[in-house]
Amino acid sequence: MKITLASVVPRRSRSKVEGVDAMVSEYVQRSTRFTPCDAVQFESEAALLASAERQPGRPAGLLVLLDPRGKLLTSEEFAAYMGKHRDEGVQRMILAIGPADGWTNAARERAQLLFSLGRVTLPHELARAVLAEQIYRVLTILAGHPYHCGH
């Protein structure tokens, strides 16, 4: 299953916070040891949703949206969710961080899961880094790798 960490950030709004892109890249690179993984930034919600749709030669992606109203999951529960879909043959999973003003109702309805990293508000850059680490953590849990060690 290919995993895409997606975020909606207009080019003019992209932060230059030093170290965030490096941290995201590091966790994405680590994740590729277990499954194909990438990180993509989209100009708009519409562009992200279009990317999630079936296209010639590419299946539709299972869409997980980060949303403050979403479901709170432990790392183990998130691993169980991702593992279940991997085992059911899902080929693409897109985990997406939304635009500054939040997801539209249409996007929420398209998603298979609304997922929350917590009830606090995080800057977009920090949410990307935390999500990248959680993807890696989930993959290590599924692989029985000692990184997680039951924390």
Determine if residue 89 is labeled as part of a ligand binding site. Answer: no
Decide: 75 and 66 in contact? Cβ < 8 Å. Answer: no
Question: Phi then psi for 11, rounded to 5 degrees?
Answer: -50, -40
CA–CA gap between residue 9 and residue 81 (Å, rounded) = 27
Residues ≥6 apart with Cβ < 8 Å to 68: 102, 116, 119, 121
Determine if residue 98 is labeled as part of a ligand binding site. Answer: yes
Structure tokens at 98: 């939304």
Which residues fall in the annotated binding site for S-adenosyl-L-methionine? Answer: 66, 98
Q: Which residues are annotated as a binding site?
A: 66, 98
